[in-house]
Chain A
Amino acid sequence: MNAKEIERIVSSLDKIPTLPAIYSKLGKLLQSPDATIAAVSNIISEDQVIAAKVLKFVNSAFYGFPQRVGSLQRAIVILGFNTIKNLVFATSVFDMFRGMDTGGAFDKKNFWKHCIGSAVASRVLAEAADLRNPDEVFTGGLLHDIGKLVVAVHYPDKYSAVVNEVQHTGTPMVESERKIFGYDHCQVGSALAAQWRFPADTAQMIGAHHLADGAVPARKDIAAVHMGNILSMALGLGSGGEKKLATVNAKAWELLGLSLSSLELVMDKIVKLYGENTEILEM
């Protein structure tokens, strides 16, 4: 199926929530010349739940600031507009999906853990590889499998067939999805990203995270999410429903430019940050 057909299918799904108003307002403001620290802070403050989460996140071990960041304005000064927008984005998308019922064989609880684990792993890889946008990579990791959830919510029985086949045979999920649905969760994820007007980079991290053997990742952030997904599963941080680990794409590893000897520190850090932050992320 081509991208247009997938987009048509996704736009016809009736249980897809609209992004909260605060996100589009923030997006508009940041594109205008009126984007001041006070204006951005005012918009975020309209949603107290999101405001509280942004502050918690800023004060988490991901940033490791020596002193507590007490106000949104201060958080914006420290992190910058883009990172703040990303944090608002990640927390609101995450929230929208939490209430959705998947039913069937899809294990939602482990799925969320897998999303968080992959987000943390992708971010740690991005930092280790000196990428300029670790928070965007975090968001990409958080949402990389969002297509699975969307399909499972709309077709619980059919998606149970995918989950069961994968568990019994070890077939990769994308293959089973293509067989049973005619499309896979990467295609659905990137169509959804387009519908929501996600940043193009995020949409590509979602759409390309399963780099087939020999495929060349277009950018380092895609490579980080690809590998973050595999590392989180190897480390047993939740489960996206896959039975077997995929092999890390050799080109992705090469592109990240990390050394084999640095991998142990990277993986230790993933485990540590995941342990310290699941509570913040799951709230």
Chain B
Amino acid sequence: MGILNINDLKEGMTLAADVKNKHGIPDADVEGADRDQLHQEEMKTVSPEVIAVIEKELNEIFPPVDGNELMSEIYRIVKKLKIRQVVES
């Protein structure tokens, strides 16, 4: 079970509880899906070359994040947002 942004909801997912709104952000608790899995889903819709370009851009501004949980998570989220921007553009 994982807390997802409402934009990440896909057909076929089962809601474990009612969609709620916390701090103004719609959440939904989804069975059987976690964030990483969803991230993988999203990655599949973008070509590896584009992902490589995004990673290159991020590697230019990010310090090495290995071994730093927080910085790795920031990196993962920014990468996801960039991929989403590309998908939506």
Contact = CB atoms under 8 A, between A and B. Distances in A.
Interface of A: 64, 127-128, 230-231, 233-236, 243-248, 250, 253, 260-261, 263-265, 267-269, 271-272
A234 B62 contact: yes
B64 to A, nearest CB: 9
Q: Specify which of B62, B68, B70, B78 lies most central, judged by the most chain A CB atoms within 10 Å of its CB.
A: B70
B74 A231 contact: yes
B61 A244 contact: yes
Contact of B77 (A230, A233, A245, A267): A267
Give the interface size bracket for B toward A: 20 to 34
Contact of A264 (B35, B68, B71): B35
28 contacts: A233-B61, A234-B61, A234-B62, A235-B78, A236-B78, A244-B62, A245-B62, A245-B63, A246-B63, A247-B68, A247-B71, A248-B70, A248-B74, A250-B70, A253-B70, A260-B70, A263-B70, A263-B73, A263-B77, A264-B5, A264-B35, A264-B77, A265-B3, A265-B22, A265-B25, A265-B27, A267-B74, A267-B77
Main secondary structure of the interface of A (DSSP, over half): helix
A268 B68 CA distance: 21
Given A235-B78, A271-B81, A260 B63 contact: no
A244 B25 contact: no
A148 B81 CA distance: 29
Nearest to B24: A64
A268 B74 contact: no
Contacts of A260: 69-70, 73
Interface of B: 3, 5, 22-25, 27, 35, 61-63, 68-71, 73-75, 77-78, 81
B77 A269 contact: no
Contacts of A263: 70, 73-74, 77
A266 B40 CA distance: 21
A245 B61 contact: yes
Contact of B71 (A248, A267, A268): A248
A184 B27 CA distance: 42
Nearest to A258: B70
B69 to A, nearest CB: 6
Contacts of A261: 3
Name the residue among B69, B73, B74 with the largest chain A CB count within 10 angstroms.
B74
Contacts of A253: 70
Contact of B25 (A233, A234, A236, A269): A269
B35 A269 contact: no
A269 B24 contact: yes
Contacts of B63: 244-247
Given A231-B74, A268-B25, 19 more contacts: A127-B23, A234-B74, A235-B78, A235-B81, A244-B62, A247-B71, A248-B71, A250-B70, A260-B73, A261-B3, A263-B70, A263-B77, A264-B73, A265-B3, A265-B5, A267-B74, A267-B81, A268-B5, A268-B81
B16 to A, nearest CB: 16
A233 B62 CA distance: 10
Contacts of B35: 264
Contacts of A231: 74
Contacts of B24: 64, 269
